[in-house]
Amino acid sequence: MLLDEIEESLESQQKLIDQLEDTKRDLESLVGYQVTELKAAAQVAREAANIRNLEELLDKTVHLISDKFDFYHAGIFLLDDTEQYAVLQAASSEGGQHMLARQHKLRIGKVGIVGHVAAQGEPRIALDVGADAVYFDNPDLPETRSEMSLPLKVREQVIGVLDIQSTEEKAFTQDDISIMQTLADQIALAIDNARLLTESQQSLIELYRLYEAQVAQAWDEYLYRRTFAYEYNQSGVTAVSPSHPHAIPVADNQSVINLPISFRGQTLGTIMLSRDADEEPFSMNEIAIARATISQLALSLENARLIESTYRQAERDRIATTITSKLWNSSDIDSILQTAVHELGLSLEVSDAYIELDVDAMNESNQNHAN
């Protein structure tokens, strides 16, 4: 009897040991799987962080996720400007490419798990898509059996959704959500950085274009007032008529180079250099020297224009300040008007100046404002 009890006790202990061994193997397998997932997530996050172009970032990220985690489909949706739709921007699967081609989008809070996550800002899993009432049955992804969608958040605001689909039922766990949400957070940060960089670059481009337009307008106004033309020959440098069609005579026996003088996209003029036929033609090195010199010439011309413009503005301010101080020293309307017409006429060197306060003009102005 005692022997039987001992045998039963040993059998129970062995069963317990076997169960513990099974549990240990399961835990080791689970830990190993999670470590593998964490490593894959870290690699995806690192590569995504190094991409600055938004379109490239989105496309590379979904393919990395599919490859590293062996998912049937990965897609990234971004919210549109109205925040009414989640619009598919990148997809790894063939079906996802068809969706991109037709500009696939889902109504936020209305259609599919993606729409639900975009509205709620919380991850969601469909372990059996056929039984999930929220699931959107997509004909482009017929092999999907389970789906996980995670919000892409920046500063607590949802900017999109990372959508992952598997051909296996119950393919995702709560541990998967934790790992993949961390990855989604990194992807959202990379997207935000890429967007900010694109916006900064666009702002710089717009500022550059504005500056180019301002330079062009300034030079148009400057050259409208005055033109410049000079000719060099063995006698030295002489001023010539700008309207002369050939400041330097061009003959068949001469080597000629004609180079524009340009600054910030605005052509300011031209320089023409020529040699007789019995002289060596212009070499590539000499042409390069001429181009480099003209580049510095353009900078010098712009610098001189800016200095002259600054002096003119300073002189205008000085004249205006002088006239204003005299006006403030006048004590009645008659003397103010007389001072104004006298000082303006004197400062601007006009032959005649006239000033008038007109009730009819005032009434007409009031009527225009009323309309």
CATH code for position 318: 3.30.450.40
Given a cut of 80, is residue 12 above it in pLDDT? no
- What is the pLDDT, as a whole number, of residue 230? 85
Determine the pLDDT at residue 9: 53
- Written as one letter, the residue type at 236 is G
70 with 142, same domain: the answer is yes
Q: Is 345 exposed, middle or buried (0-12, 13-18, 19+ CB in 10 A)?
A: middle
pLDDT in tens, 320-350: 888 888 888 888 888 888 888 888 888 888 8
- Asked whether residue 32 carries a pLDDT value surpassing 50, the answer given is no
Question: Which is higher by pLDDT, 311 or 138?
Answer: 311
How much is the pLDDT for 23?
Answer: 47
Nearest Cα neighbor of 144 from 78, 95, 85, 102 is: 95
Residue 282 lies in a domain: yes
Q: Per-residue DSSP letters for 228-257?
A: --EEEETTEEEE--TT-S-SS---TTEEEE
| Residues 144, 136 contacting (CB under 8 angstroms) | no
Residues 188 and 289 in one domain: no
Mean pLDDT of 205-230: 84
Taking the C-alpha atoms of residue 269 and residue 260, their distance in angstroms, rounded to an integer, is: 6
When pLDDT is cut at 50, 70 and 90, the band that residue 362 belongs to is low
Give the least confident one: 36-50, 106-120, 176-190, 325-339. Answer: 36-50
The predicted-structure confidence for 174-185, as pLDDT tens digits, reads as follows 877 888 888 888
Most confident by average pLDDT, 36-40, 130-134, 149-153, 249-253? 149-153
Number of residues that make up the chain: 371
In this structure, is residue 226 part of a structural domain? Answer: no
Residue 313 lies in a domain: yes
Distance CA(368)–CA(371), nearest Å, equals: 5
Q: Are residues 35 and 135 in the same domain?
A: yes
The helix (run of H) or strand (run of E) holding residue 270 is strand 266-276
User: Is 325 part of a structural domain of the chain?
Assistant: yes
Residue 201 in any domain: the answer is no
More confident residue, 49 or 16: 49
Over the chain, what is the mean pLDDT? Answer: 79
Domain that holds residue 260: 244-329
Is residue 276, in this structure, part of any structural domain at all?
Answer: yes
Per the domain annotation, does 163 fall within a domain? Answer: yes
From residue 176, alpha-carbon distances to 35, 184, 284, 333 in Å are 11, 12, 65, 84
Instruction: State yes or no: pLDDT of 26 exceeds 50.
Output: no
Domain membership of residue 267 (yes or no) is yes
- Please state the pTM of the whole predicted model: 0.59
Do residues 122 and 249 both lie within one domain? no
Looking at residue 151, its pLDDT comes to 94
